């Protein structure tokens, strides 16, 4: 297989993905299956760094998996698995933590932000070493490219530093992964506060469009989205962030260009745009919700798929770990 290998993960930290997760991440995962040897995982090890409930985590991991399948991740073309099913992640994480400087890890800004929110004394050591586990996630599969957002750049730099350091200390073992920022990535904004991104942790319930929620509720949220006091439907993210966000979503879900939409809505009002977008959104989520439920309704089939995914992932991960163990003297 000469296609570039890509790896990406998503946390099972909610009962539903939101539209930002799909348009900003998962939609690209689906596309990359055509040109890449793709490894996609639900990162449950990462989901326990800040306290959790066991049953909730188990349910969210499965519902995340089912949604990925419903969105079009195809386990016969990609390797789709749950991180904790592959023990090599934690094993390589330990080795890498022993070549990471304490000061180096302390400079990770995401840890500083998150631990400041939780209270530094209360933050877990797992939250602190999280970027090292992330490095292990990537390096185990010898990934060539990792699709990342801006907020993950520093972690990818750490991954590259650790790979280089290990290769230098113990002999060439790891591929150096490149950051890959897909062109078509849309940044989706909060419907109620279009100066902030749509986010499960910071958006208000009415600002967040969840894929699995009641469709009438989603339609209502779209119809009550914050716009501005003007009347013209124009794409102007600076001065009209609310309307522009609706146009971005409309374009992404319908495949129509923004210019085409602006032309089509010339002379019409915000109400017309919202009403039509609500319909487009409902048409989009209806089959996704049905497919997700179908996957969840057949636990034995889902388990079988997960076992195959874990086996495919371990075939690669165990080879890398064996080389690492050999190199460090185990």
**Does 114 participate in catalysis according to the annotation?**
yes
Cβ distance to ligand ADP smaller for residue 64 or 84? 64
From candidates 5, 6, 9, 10, binder to ligand ADP by CB under 6 A: 10
Binding site residue list for L-tryptophan: 137
Please name the residues in contact with 133: beta carbons below 8 A apart, sequence gap of 6 or more: 45, 46, 89, 90, 93
CB-nearest residue to ligand ADP:
24
What DSSP character marks residue 24? I
Cβ distance to ligand ADP smaller for residue 99 or 258? 258
Cβ distance to ligand ADP smaller for residue 50 or 99? 50
Binding site residue list for ATP: 11-13, 20-21, 149-151, 188, 197-201
Nearest alpha-carbon partner for 306 in 37, 64, 54, 143: 64
Q: By CB under 6 A, which span of 15-23, 64-72, 218-226, 246-254 interacts with ligand ADP?
A: 15-23
**Residue 165 binds to ligand ADP (criterion: CB under 6 A):** no
Decide: helix, strand or coil at residue 219: helix
β strands within 46-184, DSSP E: 79-82, 145-147, 178-180
Cβ distance to ligand ADP smaller for residue 93 or 194? 194
Q: Is 208 buried (19+), middle (13-18) or exposed (0-12) by CB count in 10 A?
A: buried
The label of the residue with tokens 């797992």 reads 126
Q: By CB under 6 A, which span of 65-73, 196-204, 217-225, 240-248 interacts with ligand ADP?
A: 196-204
Q: By CB under 6 A, which span of 115-123, 155-163, 199-207, 314-322 interacts with ligand ADP?
A: 199-207
From candidates 126, 149, 230, 287, binder to ligand ADP by CB under 6 A: 149
The label of the residue with tokens 């934690």 reads 90
From candidates 5, 7, 16, 21, binder to ligand ADP by CB under 6 A: 21
Q: Which one of the listed residues 187, 200, 215, 312 is annotated catalytic?
A: 200
**Does 221 participate in catalysis according to the annotation?**
no
CA atoms within 13 A on the CB side of 207: 21
Q: What spatial distance separates the first Cα and last Cα of the chain, rounded to whole Å?
A: 31
**Residue 199 binds to ligand ADP (criterion: CB under 6 A):** yes
Q: By CB under 6 A, which span of 69-77, 86-94, 159-167, 193-201 interacts with ligand ADP?
A: 193-201
**Residue 192 binds to ligand ADP (criterion: CB under 6 A):** no
128 and 120 in contact (C-beta within 8 Å)?
Answer: no
- CA 136, 82, 125: angle at the middle one, nearest 5? 50
**Residue 197 binds to ligand ADP (criterion: CB under 6 A):** yes
Q: Is 114 buried (19+), middle (13-18) or exposed (0-12) by CB count in 10 A?
A: middle
**Residue 25 binds to ligand ADP (criterion: CB under 6 A):** yes
- Token pair for residue 251? 């374009």
* Pairing of β 37-42 and β 178-180: unpaired
CB of 238 to ligand ADP, least distance (A): 18
What is the distance between the alpha carbons of residues 268 and 76, in angstroms, rounded to a whole number? 46
The label of the residue with tokens 């209502």 reads 220
306 and 251 in contact (C-beta within 8 Å)?
Answer: no
**Does 55 participate in catalysis according to the annotation?**
no
CB of 21 to ligand ADP, least distance (A): 4
Q: Which one of the listed residues 187, 197, 223, 312 is annotated catalytic?
A: 197
148 and 179 in contact (C-beta within 8 Å)?
Answer: yes
**Residue 20 binds to ligand ADP (criterion: CB under 6 A):** yes
**Residue 187 binds to ligand ADP (criterion: CB under 6 A):** yes
**Residue 198 binds to ligand ADP (criterion: CB under 6 A):** yes
Question: Which residues have a catalytic role annotated?
Answer: 114, 197, 200
Residues that bind ligand ADP (CB under 6 A): 10-11, 18, 20-21, 23-25, 149, 187-188, 197-201
């Amino acid at each position: 297989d000469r296609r570039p290998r890509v790896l990406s993960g998503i946390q099972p930290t909610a009962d539903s993905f939101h539209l930002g997760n799909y348009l900003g991440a998962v939609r690209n995962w689906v596309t990359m299956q055509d040109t890449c040897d793709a490894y996609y995982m639900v990162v449950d090890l990462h989901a326990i760094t800040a306290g959790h409930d066991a049953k909730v985590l188990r349910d969210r991991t499965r519902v995340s998996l089912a949604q990925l399948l419903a969105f079009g991740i195809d386990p016969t073309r990609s390797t789709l698995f749950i991180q904790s099913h592959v023990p090599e992640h934690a094993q390589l994480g330990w080795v890498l933590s022993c070549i990471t400087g304490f000061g180096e890890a302390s400079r990770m800004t995401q840890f500083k932000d998150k631990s400041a929110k939780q209270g530094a004394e209360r933050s877990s050591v797992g939250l602190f070493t999280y970027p090292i586990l992330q490095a292990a996630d990537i390096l185990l599969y010898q990934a060539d490219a990792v699709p990342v957002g801006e907020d993950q750049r520093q972690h990818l730099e750490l991954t590259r530093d650790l790979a280089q350091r290990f290769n230098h200390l113990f002999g060439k073992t790891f591929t150096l992964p490149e950051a890959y920022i897909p062109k078509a990535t849309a940044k989706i904004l909060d419907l109620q506060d279009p100066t902030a991104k749509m986010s499960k942790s910071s958006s208000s319930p009415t600002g967040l469009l969840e894929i699995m929620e009641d469709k009438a509720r989603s339609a209502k949220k779209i119809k009550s989205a914050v716009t501005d006091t003007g009347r013209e439907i124009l794409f102007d993210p600076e001065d009209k962030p609310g309307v522009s966000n609706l146009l971005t979503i409309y374009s992404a879900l319908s495949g129509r260009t923004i210019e085409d939409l602006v032309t089509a809505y010339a002379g019409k009002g915000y109400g017309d745009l919202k009403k039509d977008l609500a319909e487009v959104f409902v048409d989009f989520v209806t089959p996704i919700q049905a497919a997700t439920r179908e996957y969840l309704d057949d636990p034995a089939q889902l388990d079988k798929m997960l076992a195959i995914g874990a086996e495919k992932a371990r075939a690669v991960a165990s080879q890398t770990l064996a080389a690492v163990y050999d190199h460090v003297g185990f």
